Structure 1
Amino acid sequence: MNPKVIIFDFDGTIADSLEVLVNISNRLAVQFGYKQTSIDELAQIQNLTSREIIKQSGISIFKVPFLVKKVKAELSSEVKSLSLFPGMKEALIELHGLGNKLVIISSNSKPNIVAFLEHNNLAEIFYYIYSGSTIFGKDKVINRFIRQENIDVDDVIYVGDETRDIESAKKSKVIAIAVSWGFNTKEVLAKQQPDFLIEQPSELIDILKKQEVTAG
């Protein structure tokens, strides 16, 4: 199998952090001037794009970076309690074992990500971890990483759980794999037309094998 560079989103793709993030977000609602999210409302907003969610929340776009920073700080005390999605650990280990370079690009903090990976004995298999304000700018981070590492764009795959992940992958002209077990629903992800839409982590290995056959 020809090795690939596989870039993963973190929250909602590797780590099942939705419930914790919603709880933190609700605690910060008054401070940042947006309404709290109920369980019923959560099911509804999972069918919205990231931009639609921000617009509906009523939060000022200028406050979003400060909110993200505060959420990351509060998450630090709970990150080790987060779970991996079923089958994800096995898929990551197999992908790494096949010689692929695994990368994480996330708006979560690097200490949070590293603490989670170390807790789950996965820190050593990741080649690179980028943390920053990437709410709507992951394509710029992806492009910079590709340039810095002198990687052929055809060898890069991006895996994420939100519409903005698919948008970023398309802007960077890399293969976009959307996962249905994270934040956005399968239906709203499908509307963004990712290259692949999967329902379980083991399908990542199947996709790479098909890519190898196609390339051959």
Structure 2
Amino acid sequence: MTKYIAFDFDGTLVDSQNIAISVVNQLAKKHNFKSIEKENIDYLKSLSVLERCKFLNVPVYKLPFWAPEFYRIYKDSIKHLCFFDGISDLLNQLADLDYKLAIISSNSENIIRDFLKRKQIENVDQIFCSSNLFGKNKVIKKFLKKNKLKNSELIYVGDESRDIIACKEVGVEIIWVSWGYDSIDTIKEESPDYIAKEPQDILSIVKSLSD
């Protein structure tokens, strides 16, 4: 039976697309890679992370070195960050049903905690983060181990194909949300366990699992 519901942050809980594009474009000027243009956004959503890097001429091996700079600039724009419509209510509804809530993200823990404090969100029990874009499976394993959970006691909610891949590697079920960074075409081959087209779908899915 599900005890914890863990959420990705960017693209799942919060609408950070404009902030992320702005930060990427600032880094593009400094490090001489291709900027993101408005007409390319939908196309980029159809690509994997590695394919996006190739399209933007971003050397993948440099991502860990640029991550601190990315989050430093991101943090300066946190006042413009907001929940997707319906997410705040969803978190309250899930907490009222006695589910424990967590965030497992590639973003900075300081940014996430600052955002939750600004929004006066107190029902998120734990936050686990890793700056490694492709290391979320290890973070999920760490979360399971720390909380002494069986795989079946956690369900993850995310918006990218790499979230699905990480969950399948660990053996945790995932709800993929359609309002984030990856399009439906990007994740079809990964076959998420559940698909949510709006936040209330997450509530319905979770309730159905406890019936």
TM range (shorter): over 0.9
1:46 correspondence with 2:38: no
In structure 2, distance between residues paired with 1:57 and 1:169: 27
- Cα RMSD of the aligned pairs, angstroms, is 1.3
Aligned to 1:182: 180
In structure 2, distance between residues paired with 1:12 and 1:192: 18
Q: Is the 8 A contact 1:110 1:130 kept in 2?
A: yes
TM-score normalised by length of structure 2: 0.95
* Deviation at residue 57 of structure 1 after TM alignment: 2.1
Q: Give a deviation string over 1:39-59, Cα, whole Å, max 9, x none.
A: 111110100111221222221
TM-score normalised by length of structure 1: 0.93
Q: Is the 8 A contact 1:16 1:85 kept in 2?
A: yes
- What percent of counterpart residues are identical? 33
1:203 correspondence with 2:201: yes
Q: Is the 8 A contact 1:190 1:197 kept in 2?
A: no
Q: Is the 8 A contact 1:106 1:134 kept in 2?
A: no
* Deviation at residue 32 of structure 1 after TM alignment: 2.7
In structure 2, distance between residues paired with 1:167 and 1:85: 24
Q: What SS does the corresponding residue of 2:187 show, helix, strand or coil?
A: helix
Q: Is the 8 A contact 1:32 1:63 kept in 2?
A: no
In structure 1, distance between residues paired with 2:197 and 2:30: 36
How do 1:76-155 residues align onto structure 2 when only pairs under 5 Å count?
A: 76-122=75-121, 124-155=122-153
In structure 2, distance between residues paired with 1:45 and 1:103: 28
Q: What SS does the corresponding residue of 1:76 show, helix, strand or coil?
A: helix
* Deviation at residue 66 of structure 1 after TM alignment: 2.0
Aligned to 2:170: 172
Unaligned runs of 5+ in 2: none
* Deviation at residue 3 of structure 1 after TM alignment: 4.8
Q: Is the 8 A contact 1:162 1:183 kept in 2?
A: yes
Q: What SS does the corresponding residue of 1:181 show, helix, strand or coil?
A: coil
- Runs of 4+, deviation exceeding 3 Å: none
